[in-house]
A and B are shown apart, each in its own frame.
Chain A
């Protein structure tokens, strides 16, 4: 079955830039979406259509795509950004969804 691959963790100091990658063979054909999940809470969408930001999401969150890899970038990381981040997309036929394994963002 189709898989999306993320690094298990990314560490960054406050004020620095965090980049979280997600790789998958179908990403050139299918949009990627990113969710933030904090402990005990449901996921929250932070990026859709590779690089669009939903209303209410801070501008420091951005997304980009290049070939089979998409990247979530958080500029000027704040302590409150410490969370798990998941990419999500669809398979190449567009019939099933899939999540990446998740990346824990650690703010040092």
Chain B
């Protein structure tokens, strides 16, 4: 089955670091861009950034540049989103999604990882 499986919900304190994951299966992981999308509580979707696991080419939306790090390990078909110092404002649902090979839409989504940052 073609799917993206995301890591489980996290509860963290401000200042802590975190790395969440997104594992692809059922397709050639290296050959598709993987994007990350934030959805804050009650708010809309925000395009954070995208990585091509084949060569780790990574692009960030200006709003997220320097705030998060996107990486991937093609050997285990997994993409990551990490923070070095969490803030309460990072509380959100984070989705990973596979981009179509040639066009800019996401054709496959993970179920999301809910991150709660609270003291």
Binding site for B on A (CB under 8 A): 1, 30-31, 33, 35, 37, 42-45, 48-49, 54, 84, 86, 88-90, 94-102
**In contact, B63 and A37 (Cβ under 8 angstroms):** no
Where chain A touches its partner, the secondary structure class is strand
- B66 contacts partner chain A, Cβ-Cβ < 8 Å: no
Asked if A99 and B45 sit within 8 Å, CB to CB, the answer is: yes
Which residue of the partner chain, among A35, A42, A97, contacts B104 with CB atoms under 8 Å? A97
Q: Which residue of B lies closest to A84 (CB)?
A: B44
CB-based contact A42/B47 at 8 Å: no
Interface residues of B (CB under 8 A from A): 35, 37, 44-47, 50, 59-63, 95, 99-100, 103-107, 109-112
**Most chain A CB inside 10 Å of its own CB: which residue of B62, B107, B109:** B109
From B44, B61, B104, B112, A31 is in contact (CB under 8 Å) with: B104
**Most B-side CB within 10 Å, residue of A45, A49, A101:** A45
Given pairs A42-B111, A43-B45, A99-B44, 6 additional interface contacts (CB within 8 A):
A31-B104, A31-B105, A42-B110, A86-B44, A96-B60, A100-B44
In the bound complex, how far is the Cα of B104 from the Cα of A13, in angstroms?
A: 33
B95 to A31, Cβ gap below 8 A?
Answer: no
Contact indicator B107/A96 (Cβ below 8 Å): no
- Alpha-carbon distance between A101 and B35 when the two chains are bound, in angstroms: 18
Q: Which residues of A contact B106 (CB under 8 A)?
A: 35, 43, 45, 88
Q: Which residue of A lies closest to B105 (CB)?
A: A33
With a cutoff of 8 Å between Cβ atoms, the chain B residues found around residue A86 in the complex are 44-45
B103 touching A49, Cβ below 8 Å? yes
Contact B50–A97 (Cβ < 8 Å) = yes
User: CA of A44 to CA of B50 in the docked complex: distance in angstroms?
Assistant: 19
Q: Please name all residues of chain B whose beta carbon is closer than 8 Å to the beta carbon of A31 when the two chains form the complex.
A: 103-105
Residue of B44, B61, B62 contacting most chain A CB atoms (<10 Å): B44
With A and B bound together, what is the CA distance between A31 and B99 in angstroms? 14
Contact present for B104 and A88 (CB under 8 Å): yes
CB-CB under 8 A for A94 and B104, given A1-B62, A1-B63, A102-B44: yes
**Which chain A residues border B60 with CB–CB below 8 Å?**
96
